[in-house]
Amino acid sequence: MSYTLKLNEIKQITHDVYQLQTEKPTGYSFHPGQATELALNKEGWKDEKRPFTFTSLPEDPFLEFTIKSYPSHEGVTEQIAKLKKGDEVLIDDAWGAIQYHGKGVFIAGGAGVTPFISIFKMLAKEDKLSGHTLIFANKTSKDVILESFFRDLLGENFISILAEEKKSNHRHGMIDQAFLKGEIHNFDQEFYVCGPDKMVEDISAQLEELGAKPDGITFEQ
């Protein structure tokens, strides 16, 4: 089913990431971590659907999306940066394999962190944050989406790693097997991995080699 929704608010939260808040259809439901297909209700863009994750909670009276804009692609995400209050978007029903299955380690690359935002909001609301870790990989510190949000929620259990910048309060390098072995001391727990396809594939394989159960690793198929 398709829904036409008005944009209530749009704000820029990093140099290339925007947070959109829209109307919410009556009875619309999703699980934290899920996504929908979204298009812009503008001539020439209505059929250009792209998957975006909900970053609001299911019980919120609005829908929220946190979207990285890629101007060089000259596509939907470039247009996101041009939206204004009152513009309309089109969405479908919710879908997605990234859902919470229990306490564990979340590993994200760039915009791949977005499915985890709603999950962490849910855990915070239920007072169940203890024992969860987020490892978040980016190129530079300016690319870190909602850094203060995650630091406030998770404290020392928020681990930021930067590939192209050395900065205090951030690790430097890439998430590889040696890094995972040094940061994670229990591989008999849940793992949630989201990011570029190659990263998800590599990290999932490394986690299995370190002892994680294949059915304990959640990622988008």
Identify the structural domains of the chain with CATH numbers, from first to last: 3-91 (2.40.30.10), 104-218 (3.40.50.80)
pLDDT tens per residue, range 14-55:
999 999 999 999 999 999 999 999 999 999 999 999 999 999
Cα(175)–Cα(72) distance, rounded to whole angstroms? Answer: 26
Per the CB < 8 A criterion, the answer to whether 190 and 101 are in contact is yes
Record the pTM.
0.95
DSSP code per residue over 51-97: EEEB-S-TTSSSEEEEEE--GGGTSHHHHHTT--TT-EEEE---B-S
pLDDT tens per residue, range 108-163:
999 999 999 999 999 999 999 999 999 999 999 999 999 999 999 999 999 999 99
Cα(54)–Cα(89) distance, rounded to whole angstroms? Answer: 14
